[in-house]
A = this chain, B = another copy of it.
């Protein structure tokens, strides 16, 4: 039995507490149910969270349990406004005191887990490092994270938006984080411009708003796209010819994923991430870490 008698003094098991910090006026039920199904024992749900009122919440999280037990408390930052959630995360980090900290997950609107699942799906079929990816509607919260994840994995990324300047701003922001990113800002305001964005890309990820079609199906085929992922579940979908439930479905020679098809992996990554929050007290799960978690699920 070897070391079976060994017990570290710090091996108490405390109830798992997740402090759910939501920037909206009502906290997300979605995030709460996933947390419960991931094994959280107690949810402390907060709405209307801003950088101004988050510090006391963080201090309550870090000053109540001994250092060895801080891993049993964690923070989830959600809400529909991704920029607001990022500001809250920045203030959460500033509120920690050296080793007195707890793990944090950032997933407002599911933007991080959705982007992670989308890039995970693409990676099942094509090596990212040698791919050229077109990201349509790349300036929204999900799109920006898709660009970040693809670029970090070594893909060449065409960052498309109706507005060239907005696309360029996204490229600048991603390069600030990943200087080696291979990015091209593209305008895609017309079918012709979109065709140019797609030409030669082997994968396309559409991260547009609900009900906005971004590309016709024959445009994908003509461009040589092999994997197409559409993250909009509300018809008309962003990439014509893809069904929301598609999951690695062959659509006239293109491997297609729809929003619901990607959703299964998103949900698994979300749950796994909540569970891993409680493995240590010093983790920050943003898009990159959540992508690693999605990939580790196999």
For chain A, the count of residues having a C-beta within 8 Å of the partner chain is 36
Residues of B within 8 A of A27 (CB): 44, 46
A60 adjacent to chain B (CB < 8 Å): yes
Residues of B within 8 A of A41 (CB): 36
Task: Decide: A60 near B17, CB < 8 A? Known: A36-B42, A42-B36, A42-B43.
Answer: no
Within 8 A of B (CB), among A18-71: 19, 25-34, 36-37, 41-46, 48-49, 53, 56-61, 63-65
Q: Which of B14, B37, B45, B267 contacts A44 (CB 8 A)?
A: B45
Residues of B within 8 A of A32 (CB): 17, 42, 44, 60
A73 adjacent to chain B (CB < 8 Å): yes
Q: Which of A25, A30, A45 has the most CB of B within 10 A?
A: A30
Q: Are B26 and A56 in contact (CB under 8 A)?
A: yes
Residues of B within 8 A of A29 (CB): 19, 44, 56-61, 64
Residues of B within 8 A of A235 (CB): none
Q: Which of B31, B43, B53 contacts A26 (CB 8 A)?
A: B53
Q: Count identical subunits in the complex.
A: 3
Task: Decide: A17 near B46, CB < 8 A? Known: A59-B30, A61-B29.
Answer: no
A191 adjacent to chain B (CB < 8 Å): no
Within 8 A of B (CB), among A257-272: 267
Q: Are A60 and B19 in contact (CB under 8 A)?
A: no
Q: Which of B25, B37, B56 contacts A28 (CB 8 A)?
A: B56
Write the A161-189 contact mask toward B (1 if CB under 8 angstroms, else 0).
00000000000000000000000000000
Closest to A29 in B: B60
A15 adjacent to chain B (CB < 8 Å): yes
Q: Which of A42, A53, A64 has the most CB of B within 10 A?
A: A64
Interface residues of A (CB under 8 A from B): 14-15, 17, 19, 25-34, 36-37, 41-46, 48-49, 53, 56-61, 63-65, 73, 267
If A27-B46, A28-B60 are given as contacts, then 7 extra A-B residue pairs at C-beta distance below 8 Å, sorted by A number, are: A17-B36, A26-B49, A26-B56, A29-B44, A32-B60, A33-B64, A64-B267
